[in-house]
Amino acid sequence: MNTIQLRTAIPGPRSRALMARREAAVPRGPYNSTPIFVASAEGATLEDVDGNRYLDFAGGIGCLNIGHRSPRVTAALREQLDKHLHVCFAVTPYESYIAVAEKLNALAPGKFPKKTIILNTGAEAVENSIKIARAYTKRPAVICFEDAFHGRTLLAMTLTSKTHPYKAGFEPFASDVYRIPFAYPYRAEKGATAESFAHYLEDAFKRVVAPESVAAVIAEPVLGEGGFVVPPRDYFAILQKICRKHGILFIADEVQSGFARTGKWFASEHFGIEPDLITMAKSLGGGMPIAAVTGRAEIMDAPGVGALGGTFAGHPLSCAAALAAIESIEQDGLLARSTALGKHFEERARGWQQKWPLVGDVRGLGGMCAMELVRDAATREPADAEAKELAHYCYEHGLITITAGTFNNVIRILVPLVVTDAQFDEGLDVIEAALASVPDRKPVAVSHA
């Protein structure tokens, strides 16, 4: 039997009524990619307030790698509810915070001694990683990348690349942030290599900022909001070597790519690198808000006592959930599952690419996979309206999916890794039907007579 069960037109009457209340009571700023209000969720499925059941390929933007209401997480939360809620780690500490830190220190790449600070959100982890890097190096500047996304707070937004909707109108930004092109093979000049991409960093040292002023380079090993762009395999090793030469720290922002999304604990492992600091959030919490920065112990200890933290950072419920989420990834074989799902997506998407020129690029690492839609294979004109229509078709047919990319033309897969084979194919069938339904909008030839 199909998982998707639609009983009303989408959105249904209850969702429509809630949307009217939402529009009256909540500002337009927080975007809703689908107009469907959720009543319950389980594994890779969502049920809305009108009794319609959907497959969820968005996972709350990559936060549900272990699935909605994972049994280990709900059991851990119930247990913690009977012990204590917020007491504040800065006032009266508790063991689960330390247990999460110990676990992350052991999981993060690198055999050197590590320490971890726990926070609430990805943006907070990014902000703290820069504070720590500046405290350690005693240097001001940070280098980040085009097409990067690091969050919505002032420094994280400054590090983010895309102008609309993230930055426009929110100037002035934080100072001492410099941006270089990312290794984006599909949109790069022909023949670009890991070395030529990495050269942008050395070039920046001559053109925009002296290396001795730079505290850190921060990069997503696989771009998340930027469109699931995967750099060449030796790119980050070259970047990190350049950083080391100049005493610059390398920060991997693994907020979206971490915790089995790419088939490993951290995407950094695919590139054979050991970042000095790693930022994490999203799927670390198995559905609860939690974030962390893990890094070399001597770097993490640079800020003084009281310089880092936050009232709710490392909430007992979130720590309990994180320990359960990590256990689920370990016990349920989700690293291998992610790799298998990515392979299956690639097989099907390559077939779509043969059939529909709209599918310009198929890419990914493990279960962090995507396709970039274009109007013309030669010019690679981004098919943004088509991507929006495709996502719209999908939710109207029972599949929740989200777009990405600086040009809004990437369909990304963030399906909970506990999805069954049958459910995954059912969802991919909806995408295939959507591709067949999206009208071909080839650019009209312009005469230059």
Ligand X SMILES: Cc1ncc(COP(=O)(O)O)c(C=O)c1O
The footprint of ligand X on this chain (CB under 6 A) covers a number of residues equal to 15
In the complex with ligand X, the residue whose CB is nearer, 219 or 329, is 219
Nearest to ligand X of 253, 361 (CB atom) = 253
Nearest distance from C-beta of residue 405 to ligand X, angstroms: 13
Burial 217-249 (b: 16+ CB within 10 A, else e): bbbbbbbbbbbbbbbbebbbebbbebbeebebb
281, 326, 370, 404: which one contacts ligand X (CB under 6 A)?
281
Residue 48 interacting with ligand X (CB under 6 A): no
Q: Which is nearer to ligand X, 67 or 227 (CB)?
A: 227
Which residue number, 187 or 261, has a Cβ lying nearer to ligand X? 261
CA distance 58 to 256: 12
Minimum CB–partner distance for residue 157 and ligand X (Å): 10
Tell me the closest approach of the beta carbon of residue 95 to ligand X, in angstroms: 25
Residue 160 C-beta: closest distance to ligand X, Å: 8
| Least separation in angstroms between CB 37 and ligand X | 21
Q: Which stretch binds ligand X (CB under 6 A): 80-88, 92-100, 253-261, 340-348?
A: 253-261
Shortest approach of ligand X to residue 166 CB, angstroms?
11
Distance CA 257, CA 65 (A): 10
Q: Does 253 bind ligand X (CB under 6 A)?
A: yes
Q: Which two tokens stand for residue 118?
A: 């726990």
CB of 61 to ligand X, least distance (A): 6
Q: How far apart are CA 152 and CA 154, in angstroms?
A: 7
| Nearest distance from C-beta of residue 399 to ligand X, angstroms | 21
Helices 421-437 and 384-396 cross at an angle (nearest 10°) of 130
Most distant CA pair in the chain, distance: 78
- In angstroms, what is the minimal distance from the CB of 294 to ligand X? 15
Residue appearing with tokens 């020129």: 357
Give the x/- contact pattern for ligand X in 179-218, rule: CB under 6 A: ----------------------------------------
Residue among 397, 338, 403 nearest 370 (CA): 403
Smallest gap from Cβ 199 to ligand X, in A, equals 24
Q: Which stretches of 12-65 are DSSP H helices?
A: 13-25, 59-62
Contact positions with ligand X (CB under 6 A) in 110-139: 121-123, 126
What residues contact 208, with CB distance under 8 A and at least 6 apart? Answer: 178
List C-alpha distances in Å: 158 to 9, 62, 162, 177, 355. Answer: 41, 22, 10, 7, 40
Considering only the stretches 2-10, 219-227, 317-325, 432-440, report the one whose residues sit in contact with ligand X under the rule CB under 6 A: 219-227
Q: Which of 220, 361, 372, 386 binds ligand X (CB under 6 A)?
A: 220
| Strands 277-280 vs 249-253: parallel, antiparallel or unpaired | parallel
By CB under 6 A, name the one of 59, 151, 295, 382 that touches ligand X: 151
149 versus 393: smaller Cβ distance to ligand X = 149
Q: Closer to ligand X at the Cβ: 3 or 262?
A: 262
Our finding on whether 280 is near ligand X (CB under 6 A) is: no
Query: Does 147 help bind ligand X (rule: CB under 6 A)?
Result: no
Stretch that binds ligand X, among 98-106, 136-144, 146-154, 332-340 (CB under 6 A): 146-154
d(CA 184, CA 436): 28
Listed residue (401, 379, 375, 369) closest to 388, CA to CA: 401
**Contact call for residue 157 and ligand X (CB under 6 A):** no
- Residue with token string 């979206």: 256
Q: Which is nearer to ligand X, 58 or 417 (CB)?
A: 58
DSSP 63: T
**Among all residues, whose Cβ is closest to ligand X?**
122
CA distance 366 to 370: 10
Q: Is 224 in the site for ligand X (CB under 6 A)?
A: yes
- Binding to ligand X (CB under 6 A): which residues in 55-94? 61
Beta carbons of 45 and 68 less than 8 angstroms apart? yes
Closer Cβ to ligand X, 284 or 419, answer by number: 284
Out of 218, 255, 358, 387, the residue judged to bind ligand X by CB under 6 A: 255
Q: Check binding of 256 to ligand X (CB under 6 A).
A: yes
DSSP string, 159-214: H----TTTTTT--S--SSEEEE----GGGSPTT--HHHHHHHHHHHHHHT--GGGE
Measured CA to CA, the distance from residue 430 to residue 161 in angstroms comes to 32
Alpha helices per DSSP H over 332-448: 334-355, 384-396, 421-437
Tell me which residues touch ligand X (CB under 6 A).
61, 121-123, 126, 149-151, 220, 224-225, 253, 255-256, 281
